[in-house]
Amino acid sequence: MNNSVENKIIVITGASSGMGEAAARHLASMGATVVLGARRIDRIEKLVSEIKENGGEALALATDVTNKDDVKNLVDTAINTYGRIDVLINNAGVMPLSMFESIKVDEWDQMIDVNIKGVLYGIAAALPHMIEQKAGHIINTASVAAHLIFPASSVYSATKFAVRALTDGLRQEVTSHNIRTTLISPGAVNTELLDHISDKDVQSANQEYVGEVGIPASSYADMVAFAIGQPENVDVNEIIFRPTAQAL
């Protein structure tokens, strides 16, 4: 069977851990060149070394997605190094869940900056090049929380609802440029996201639940590879996946 991922130039934000790291490993193993952005440069440099030791091609750049210049530099470096960008995976995200009554305004701001503006900065950096190429694929990571709300998820859900809206709006606008768009909404996946919840009661409840039903980050990597690997005239617009045991 033809491997449609092979030889693609794929930029991934939030690649230092969890789903971004898993996607980088998997796509590189399929023959893609991966350009990795994250704040923790030591982690992505180590990942690049591992990928190259296994015969793959990868590049790492320190990237804070709340800084539009950082994101532009990430995309521009991919293009200057490899000549094009085939796929952008806007994966970087934060999830400091809390109840409204806790008034964690700084955390609300952080989620807006990373989860919404970070995605927009990625689109702004990649879209002009993809329009010029008359080809490309933008993948945005949302969450099942983009489709439902539960106590302590309100602001996080709002940011992911926003990613849903902008992704479908983007889809409608770029079809004439032969650009594909995919929204991927994971359910309970075992990552570091829960480690950064400052409300210990909320953190404990979510860690207990995800600990019971959570699936590995490689499940996200499989979904990304599926969407990218479709024929160029097939646009997988949305994927929602959960552990089989997850009812929510």
Q: Are 45 and 67 in contact (CB under 8 A)?
A: no
- Which among 82, 121, 156, 209 is annotated as catalytic? 156
Structure tokens given for 154: 């309100």
Enter the pTM of the model: 0.95
- pLDDT value for 162: 98
pLDDT in tens, 17-67: 999 999 999 999 999 999 999 999 999 999 999 999 999 999 999 999 999
Active site residue 156: yes
**CA–CA separation, 29 and 215 (whole Å):** 21
- Which residue ranges form the domains of the chain, and what is each CATH number? 9-229 (3.40.50.720)
Q: Where are the beta strands (DSSP E) in the chain?
A: 9-13, 33-38, 57-62, 87-90, 136-141, 179-186, 238-241
DSSP state of 14: S
**CA–CA separation, 218 and 49 (whole Å):** 19
CA distances (Å), origin 157, targets 27, 119, 169, 236:
28, 15, 18, 22
pLDDT in tens, 84-128: 999 999 999 999 999 999 999 999 999 999 999 999 999 999 999
Structure tokens given for 132: 């010029």
